[in-house]
Structure formats: structure tokens, C-alpha cells
A and B are shown apart, each in its own frame.
Chain A
């Protein structure tokens, strides 16, 4: 398939997934604030901006982090390239150039999502009025797009690029959702392990739609178990390890090279990274430092993204 087309479909699905995850971020914080207020803790909105990695742009544009400014920045700010609105817009621009490759249902879903988000930027009925409903609608729209992609598009090379893009994006965002807890302050150091701490970890699970699946596996909520589930589980579809396994499969189907071998840099980098997740225990991660581990992971994942771009999208005549 054309490199340009592969590039566009990969990014279409990455951007949709990103929009969904930003909605999850904001939603988890709303939940956390609700839980915390009952325990006498005031609002903390800066941590989630910190977790997205865009804190610098935010400070320049808004200064203080309040519920309103953070939601505006992450949901509807066109100047923020990673806001929900910007992501959906970018997804649509990419999809527009590959209309002949995707199914018409996929295009209609993206269009629908675009109108949904566009309508929320206004004052009345906008995102600030009922944020939770809006975030739910964004998540659903993304799921709808994913479902329609699965069931109306041939599972061909283009589809595998879409899937790889979606899962790599999800892996990155799940790592950032876990990281929110790192930035979230507890009133006192010895609040670790208190009901408040547990509530926060629980909210985290909920934002990754992981609470029920987690309960089936571990029942009791402890920080290490939650981190283990969201990072190392190989069956839960939003866990980082799972995402890496599936994305790796996609690259192998695209290239045709057997599992546990590589025929290009993208496969090599992703294979190494995935192997680390397959053979690392949560104790090792905690020993290394959870935040440090996630930070390093995000950088290595960016390296994978770069290798994909160079391997598949950047063909020049001489190569």
C-alpha cells in the first residue's frame, strides 16, 4: 500500500484513540475530585496536565490550573494540538485523504464525532456544563469508530496499520493515566494506604475501564496490584503489555517476518520493548521507581513510533 496512505490511516486511528484517552484523563480527575472533596481535600487539576506532558504550553496559556481552565485546555482548545477537539480534527483531516481506503461507515463515524466535539465547544450545552456526559460521549464515539473499523474494513495491511497505531497510542496513554497518581499529592506522607489513597487508585482503574476486570483478578485494591494490572497484564485490552503484544503482532503481519525475529527497525525496537514487559515483575518496577519506569517507557515508545515512520512512511526513491 502507499506509504502516504499507511501514514494517514495509522494517524487517523492514533488521533481517535488519543481523543478518547484525553477524555478518560479528564474523567478520572473529575472522579478523584469528587472522592477527595468528601475527605476534605481540595481540587488538584495540575497533576493531569503534568501527566500529559504538555504542562509548559498550559502554563503559558492559562497560568493556574482550575477545573475550568484544564478542561478547556484539554478538551476544546484548538491551540493545543493534543486537545480532544484538535485530535478529532486531525483524525478527520487524515481520513479525508484516504476516503477510498476506509469504509464509508468509518468516515461517517469520524464525521459524527467531529460534529459532536465541535458542538461541545459552545457555551450552552458545552463541555463545561456537563463534562462527564461529554467525556462519556467521546469515549463511546471512539469505541463506535473502533467497532465499525473492525467490522466494516477488510483486515488487510491498512487495517493492521490502524490497529498498531491505536494500540501504541493506548499503551502510551495508559502509562500516563497510571502516572497521574504519581503527581497527585496526598495531604500527609502517612496517608499512603489510607481510604483516600485506595479511592484514588480505584478511580484510576475506573478511568481505564478496568475496575471490574481488576476485581476478578485481585479483588482487594493495593497500589502495586493496580500498577501491575494496568502495566503488565497480558489479557486486559488497555494494559500496556497487552497493547504492545498486539501492536507487535500487527507489525509482523505487515512485514511477514516470523514472531521473535525482526526485518526492520520498527519490529526490532518494539520487540525489545515488549520483551521487557513480558519478563519484568512489578516488584522490579517499583524498585526502579514507578514514575521513572513509566517515563523511560514513554521515551522508548516514542522511539518505536519514529522507527515505524522511517520504515514504512518515509520511502525515498534512493532507498
Chain B
């Protein structure tokens, strides 16, 4: 299989230059793929899929009876990012995470950013993810957003933009780690020669970040991952991360508040829990503080949190920072809190609650992408150019009714990458979700999850909407990165066979 017939068709392509020659960072991979005997790539693809299947890398689909497991569609051609292109992204994400954290600290305390006129009060207070219950909270070490998943896209010129922030319970990192395991086996030679930056230490970094939140007076703190249960679409990931970190995976019913502490129910009685990596939304985490009807939360959890006797990652209330209206103000936050220019730009955003913008949006629905301010997973979204007249009219009605709930962005000519379609390659649109961990310092995973819109021409990459994924390689072209140490010497002790155990003569 080769790339001779592959066309970039005027889009920015992740592996190829506009003249259809491979980019420097990708040339090794392209050469390798083209040198494989006919049918070999298909065999490797089948082997990779079988590996993912037996590893149980699945997600659950809502609505299907009792939650059905599916394999997350996966394309074996990795997306490759040149290390020198990656450096500014990494710096930009650190910067953005710092600013978002300072924003959260401020908005649940003095609200100086409102007083100084940078963000209108009504934007904050009308946000459905704003939690007045969190005012005055003092999260351990002043960290609110411990884990952030930023969605990045590249426009027609190849410039990276932040499309949205995810500061609630961003998911997908388990696919990054599992995809990598599979790709190492699929392209071992190219992988080694390409000097791909490692992602495998993510669980260690996450564990360290959780431990960073516990008081030093506790010798061996207990961390847990809190899941809504096996029917949650990201259950595989919850289970995977708990396993990789070697901590318990708990459900709400495993935890109880007793004598001012959060405890888990064990075979030896109640055991204290010091830090919870929670994958349950704020709304459901404590029926005494948030939604009363939550069956999956822990009554009284927030009281323990307020008293500083348990740490939560992410902190409750972080959702306001990834509200899609608040998103539009993040560049201003960076300038306000850090006195810096934003390194990664936002996608231009029209705010429907502002009359001038709303007018423009309603007149240009056929050119814009409209998003609901608080939905994720590709739900509550209109891709104007691909929508029918009726769909556009329906959205116009929704915008007019609750303008605060909607934003609009120009339809970007998202960058593409080649994917295997039967016996040849075709370009498909991609985005990128790097994961950022805020612990003692801020760590950005090199690369992240590349999501692919597998349907031809589609711009929606979400797994619930026909999206798939690719492994993402950040490679150092100069080759300066050192190789792993190879082991010198050989083992001398041989395995003993039958009859060899006796006294030697």
C-alpha cells in the first residue's frame, strides 16, 4: 500500500506537505509503510484491532440496552508532530492552565476579575456550571484544575487553536496509553528510530499529583478513583487508571462519611480515604450539597472537603471555567492574571447573549458552528454548512429563546491526516486533546489523543458521533534524544532441566 494516490486536497495535512511529499518528521514512517509487502499493512491493522479487543479497550454507548461495550475505532497510521512545533503548544497549555486555575481561585473568592471589568458578572452567574456552594473553598495547595483536557484544532494554515477546555472530568487518556502499546507492536522499527516521546508515565504523574494534595502528616495516604459505575461510558478508563496507579476503584456506595472523615467499606471495616480522583460530575457528588436526587454520591462529602480532611481532583466548581461562553474570555484572563500574551489563540467566538454577535450568528447560520455552552460529546451542536434548513431554523429558535446558552464559531477547515480506508489512504479531519496535570508543577502529555472524524468530510470527531482515534507521536527530528540504554552482558544461570538437580560428579 502506498501514498501515490493520496491527495491533501488543499487542507493542511498532518503528514504531508502541500506538494504531497511527506513532512520531515513523518518521512520515516511513510517510507516504511510504502516498503511493506502488499497486504502486510492490512495484517498489522487486524493484529492491532485484535490486541485492542482482547485488552478490552472499549467504551459504553448510552441508550443501548444496559450499556453496550464497543471497541473505540482506531486507525493505525499515527499522527506525527514535529518536536519543534510541539514546544510552543506545551508552553501555551501550561500558561492557559495557570490562568484558568487563577480564575477559579478568584471567581470563588474575591471576584476581582469581575470588579475590574474583564468579565461581566452575568456571564459567570448565569453559567449553569457555576457553583455558589463553592464560594470560599480553599482547595489543598491552591489547585482547582488538577487534570485538564484541552481540545486543539489546526486551521487551514496549520495554526493551532484552542477549541475548548475540559476541566470537569476529561476522558480519553486511557486510549492514548493503550493505543501507544499497540502501535509500538505495529511499527516497532519506525517507532524506535523516530525518537517518539514517551507517554507511559502518565499514571505515575497522576498519582504524584494526587499525593501532592495530601497533608505531609500522613505517612501513607490513601487515594481512590471514584466512578459512577460500570454503565458509565468512560468506565473502562476509570478502571484502567485505578489499575495503573494501583489504587482502589470505588463507587459512591463504597464510601461513607464517618466521624468527619471519608471512609471506604473494606473487608476489615472502614478505612480512611485522603484523596479522591473523582470521575463523577459536581452535580452528583454530594446530595447534601448539590443535587438531592443523586444516588451515586456520598452524603456529607463536601463538609469533609471544606474541613480539609479529604482532597478532590478536580475541585468542585471547575466546570464554570470550561463553560463555552467563559471560554471566549480565556485570552483576556491570561493577560489579566499573568500579564502575558496568550501563546495559543482561541478560535474566534461569537457570543449569542451579546446583541451584535447574536444578529450576526442568526444571519450566518449556514457558515457557522453553533454549540451549546454546557454540553460535551458533540451533543447540542449545529454544523451550519452541513445542516438542513429545518435544523438551522430549529437552532435559530433555540438561540433566540436562551441566547446565554449558545456560542458560534466559524467553520474551520480542520487539518487532516491519512487514514486507512480498505486498501488505500484517504484524508480525514482530526483534532488533538492533550492532557495536562497540575501537581507540584504543570505537566503536559507529549501529544495526546488524536481524534479522527472517520466519516468522509465530517468535522465531528466525538466517539459518540462516529469518531475514532490515532496514536500521536511527538518526534524529535534532530535525533538528539538519547536512546534507551541497552543491556550489556548476558545471563549466566541457565534453567535447570530434569535430572540436573543432583550432585555433579
Contact = CB atoms under 8 A, between A and B. Distances in A.
Contact of B267 (A3, A97, A104, A316): A3
B240 A254 contact: no
A143 interface: no
Nearest to A254: B267
B56 A4 contact: no
Nearest to B258: A317
A2 B264 contact: yes
B269 A4 contact: no
Interface residues of A, number: 24
A250 to B, nearest CB: 12
Given A97-B230, A104-B55, A3 B266 contact: yes
Interface in A1-23: 1-6
Contacts of A129: none
B230 A96 contact: yes
A99 interface: yes
Contacts of A212: none
Nearest to B253: A4
A215 B480 CA distance: 71
Interface string B244-277: 0000111101101110000111110110000000
Given A99-B56, A108-B54, A2 B248 contact: yes
Interface string B223-248: 00000011000001001101100001
Contacts of A101: 243
Main secondary structure on chain A at its contact with chain B? Answer: helix
A95 B127 CA distance: 40
B266 A104 contact: no
Which 7 residue pairs spanning A and B have beta carbons closest together? A100-B243, A315-B265, A312-B267, A317-B256, A100-B242, A100-B239, A99-B239
Interface string B53-69: 01110000000000000
Nearest to A93: B230
A254 B270 CA distance: 16
Interface string B88-100: 0000000000000
A107 interface: yes
* Of A3, A97, A100, A107, most B-chain CB atoms within 10 Å: A100
Interface string B461-487: 000000000000000000000000000
B264 A104 contact: no
A157 interface: yes
A6 B264 CA distance: 13
Given A96-B230, A97-B230, A100-B240, A315 B249 contact: no
A99 B243 contact: yes
B55 A4 contact: no
Contact of A4 (B54, B240, B254): B254
Interface in B420-438: none
A261 interface: no
* Of A99, A108, A161, most B-chain CB atoms within 10 Å: A99
A5 B248 contact: yes
A280 interface: no
B251 A4 contact: yes
A213 B257 CA distance: 54
Contact of B56 (A5, A97, A104): A104
